[in-house]
Structure 1
Amino acid sequence: MGPHKHITLATDFYSASELLPASVFNAMAALAFIASAILALLSIQTPSLKPLLGYLLVTISLVPLVSLFAETRWIASMGGFPVIGSGQGVIKYFALLSIAILFIKPQLPHKQAIWLNIAPVMLVLLWIGGMKFTAIEAKGIEDLVLSSPLMSWMYQLWDVQTTSNLIGVYDLVAVVLLIAAIYYHKLVLPAIVMSGMVFVVTQTFLISFDASISADTLLTSTGHFLIKDLWFIANLILFYLLLKQQSPEKKTA
C-alpha cells in the first residue's frame, strides 16, 4: 500500500525500477513477508517446514543486504562508508539472516550458532551506537527521544549531542558485555537485559512517535525501521537458549 522509498532504493540498485511499477515491487515484498509469517506458524506444528522458511528468509534478507553496495546507503557528505544513512534499516536484515541460517542448519556447531545469533546484535549496537557520536545522528534521533516519556528527560540534563553520545556509550558497553557473557556466563542476564532494553525502548517509539504510524499504510518508513528491532530480540532469546544448552564442562572451559 503506497510508496516505500526503501524498496525503491533497492530496486534502483538492481536497475529494476523501470521494469515494473513500484506498487508491484511493494506487493512482492508484502507477499514474501506474509508467506514467511504463514510458514513460521505452520513450522511450529510441522518442523520439517523450517528449512523452507529459512530459505525464504535468506532471500528476503539478501535482497536488501546486497544493496548496501549502493552509494545511496551511505552519507556521501561525511565520506560515505562507514557513515551509514538509509542503510541503517538494511543492516537489521543481518538479524533475520542469522535466524534463517539456523532454520536451514539446525545442527550447526554450538559455538558457531551462538556467535551467529549474537553477531547481528553486536553489529547494530556497534555501528549505530558509533553513529550516535556524529552530529547528523544526534539530530536525527532528537524527535524520537523528545517523544519518549522514557528518554525525553535526558534533554533536561544534557544537550542534544551529549545525550546522543551517552546513548552511544550505552550501546558500546552493551557490546562489550555481550562478548564477555560468552566466556563468563554469570554476565549473560545483565548482557541480555542491557542490550535488549535498546530494542524494547525502540518499540515504544511506535506509540510515542506519531510519525511512525500512517493512516494509509499503518506503518511509515520510520515505523518499518523501528519494528525491525524485534528481530534482534529474537536473536537475544536464541543466544540465551543456546548458552543455557551448553554443558557445565563447556561453560567452565
Structure 2
Amino acid sequence: MQPIFSLATTPPKAAIPDHTALLRWSLVVVFLWFGAMKFTLYEAQGIAPFIEHSPFMSWLLSAFGVRGASGVIGALELATAVALATGAFHRGVSVLGAAMSCATYAITLTFFFTTPGVAEPTAGGFPAISAPIGQFLLKDLVLLAASAMLLRTSLAHWQAARDASPRLLPGSAHQPTSA
C-alpha cells in the first residue's frame, strides 16, 4: 500500500493529473501581497519581533536594520512569487518555487517556538494560542501543507518528464556525430 503523503512517492509513469493550479496561484497572490508589504514601515515594524527572536533571521536586524531586514525578506518573497508563477510553465522552476515556498513557511513556523507571547498557559496547563501572534502564525501550517503538496506534484511532473526523455550515452549510435 502506498503512503497517503510522501515527498518521495512518485506516481505511475502514466499521465499525472495536476490539480494544484489553485494552490499555485493562491500562493503567488500571498507571496506578492506579503512581499510588497514588507517594503512598508507598517509591515517592517510588525515583523520585527519575529525576526528579533529568530535564530535563523535575527542577524538580518544587525546587518540591515528593521526596514532593510524587512526589505530583504520582501525581495525573497517576491522572488518566490515569480518562481511559483513561472513554474506554471516550466517544471524545473516549479520545483524551485515550491521548495522556496516550503522553506518560507517552515522558517515562519519556527517563530511559534521562538517569539514570546505566542502561547499563554491556561488553568488546565494546555497552552492557549494567543490571538495577535499565535493565531497569526498558525495559518502558516496550512500554507506549508499547500506548498508541500505543490512541491510533491512538481517533483512528480519533473521526474516523469526526465523518465520520458531518451538518455543518450556517449559514443552510442544515436549520438550526433561531428563532421
| TM-score after normalising by structure 1 | 0.51
List runs of 5+ in structure 1 lacking aligned partners.
1-43, 45-109
Partner amino acid, structure 2, of 1:138: A
Higher helix share goes to which structure?
Answer: 1
List runs of 5+ in structure 2 lacking aligned partners.
5-16, 166-179
Partner amino acid, structure 1, of 2:99: V
Aligned pairs for 1:1-253 within 5 A: 110=17, 113-216=19-122, 218-221=128-131, 222-243=133-154, 244=156, 248=161
* Matched residue SS, 1:228: helix
Structure 1 residue 234, shift from structure 2 partner: 1.5
Q: Give the Cα separation in 2 of the matches to 1:245 and 1:139.
A: 40
Deviations 1:214-248 (A, max 9, x none): 11352111111112111112112222333425864
Q: Give the Cα separation in 1 of the matches to 2:117 and 2:100.
A: 27
Deviations 1:88-121 (A, max 9, x none): xxxxxxxxxxxxxxxxxxxxxx45x221111221
Deviations 1:180-205 (A, max 9, x none): 22222122332222121111111101
- Share of identical aligned residues, percent? 27
Q: How many correspondences in the alignment?
A: 143
* Matched residue SS, 1:211: coil
Q: Is the 8 A contact 1:120 1:232 kept in 2?
A: no
Q: Is the 8 A contact 2:80 2:97 kept in 1?
A: yes
| Structure possessing the higher radius of gyration over alpha carbons | 2
Q: Give the Cα separation in 1 of the matches to 2:114 and 2:43.
A: 19
Q: Give the Cα separation in 1 of the matches to 2:152 and 2:28.
A: 17
Q: 1:172 to 1:236 in 2, by over 3 A?
A: same
Q: Is the 8 A contact 1:129 1:169 kept in 2?
A: yes
Deviations 1:10-46 (A, max 9, x none): xxxxxxxxxxxxxxxxxxxxxxxxxxxxxxxxxx7xx
| TM-score after normalising by structure 2 | 0.71
Kindly indicate whether structure 1 or structure 2 has the higher relative contact order, using CA contacts under 8 Å at least 6 residues apart.
2
Superposition RMSD on alpha carbons, in Å? 2.4
